[in-house]
Amino acid sequence: MKRILKWALLVVVVVAACGFMAFLYLIPPFFIAAPETFSGPIVAAAPKMDDIKDPAERAIAERGRYIALTTGCLGCHGTPGAQGFDLDKYLSGGQLFIESSGRYVSRNLTPDNETGLARRTDDEVKRVLRSGVLPDGHVAPYTAMPWANFSNWTEEDRHAVVVFLRHVKPVRHAIPDPVLKRTPVRDGAVEEGYGGVDYALRER
């Protein structure tokens, strides 16, 4: 009897350990669930521009939405939540990028008055998108913020993106300023990126 119990316990422990390993192996299920499980919600989360009354502005914002969505602004400017992005906080930033020139937390692109782009003029936003020059004159490294690519947008496409950003739902989410000091990047890499948690909270 005792022997059977012992064996049963052993089997339970082994099965539990294997189950745990299998769980570790498979979670998060990037490699088993259909790709649409991930892309569907991300595409659906881009806010519709239907509510804009002025037809010209609506059409321009729609175009801006398409450009911002397909360019993947959310990939860096999304706010990490418990499971992947917190899509309710669309484009409010919070991921961390480390370059040899410093530490950058992705900014809040929503039109929030105190923590977002409502503080910046259209020209200031366009200057970042065209030249990578932040309001303080610092030039963002192109590998962290791919402005060198966005500089190839026509001025009219850039305008459409800014019109779209002005119509995203404002989210209060304060982002710490970049820490601009020479830092070696881990293992001799050129860039180190972190998602998973909201670094706007952690870095403060």
Partner 1 sequence: MHAQPRMVGGAPSDATRGKVVYDAHCVECHGASGKGDGPAAQTLTPRPRDFSSSKYKIRSTETGSVPTDDDLIRSVREGLAGSAMPGWQRILPDSDIADVVQYVKSLSPQFAQPPVPVTLGAGVASSPQSIARGSSAYEKLQCGKCHGSDGRGTGAVTTTFEDDWRQPLNAADLTEPWAFHGGATPRDIFLRFRTGMMGTPMPSFKDAATDAEMWDLANYVVSLARKPLWTMNGDEVAAFYKQRDADAKANPVKRGRQLVDTLGCGTCHTAVDENRRPLPGLSMAGGLLIRITPFGDFPTGNLTSDKETGLGSWTDDEIKQVITRGVLKDGTRLPPYPMDWAAYSAMGADDLSAVIAYLRSLPPVKNKVLRPSRPFLPVYLWGKFKMLILQRDPPLLFFPGNAGTAGGRS
x-or-dash string of contact with partner 1, 79-118, rule CB under 8 A: ----------------------------------------
Give a three-class secondary structure readout of 106-146. CCCCCCCCCCCHHHCCHHHHHHHHHHCECCCCCECCCCCCC
Among 27, 51, 83, 181, binds partner 1 (CB under 8 A): 27
Q: At 26, which helix (H) or strand (E)?
A: helix 2-26
**Nearest residue to 45 via CA among 89, 7, 106, 80:** 89
Strand partners, 96: 105, 194
Among 170, 191, 201, 203, binds partner 1 (CB under 8 A): 191
Q: Does 166 bind partner 1 (CB under 8 A)?
A: no
- What residues between 128 and 147 interact with partner 1 by CB under 8 A? 130-133, 135-139, 141-143, 146-147
**Are the beta carbons of 80 and 86 closer than 8 angstroms?**
yes
Among 47, 118, 159, 201, binds partner 1 (CB under 8 A): 159
Region from 1-9, 109-117, 166-174, 192-200 binding partner 1, contact rule CB under 8 A: 192-200
Contacts of 101 (CB under 8 A, 6+ apart): 141, 180, 182
**Are the beta carbons of 147 and 128 closer than 8 angstroms?**
yes
Specify the residue, 12 or 75, whose C-beta has the smaller distance to partner 1: 75
**Are the beta carbons of 74 and 91 closer than 8 angstroms?**
yes
**Nearest residue to 93 via CA among 72, 73, 113:** 73
Size of the residue set binding partner 1 (CB under 8 A): 68
x-or-dash string of contact with partner 1, 30-69, rule CB under 8 A: xx---xx-xx--xx--x-------xxx-xxx--x--x--x
- Distance of closest approach, residue 68 Cβ to partner 1, in angstroms: 9
For binding to partner 1 (CB under 8 A), which residues are involved? 21, 24-25, 27, 30-31, 35-36, 38-39, 42-43, 46, 54-56, 58-60, 63, 66, 69-72, 74-75, 127, 130-133, 135-139, 141-143, 146-157, 159-160, 180, 185-197
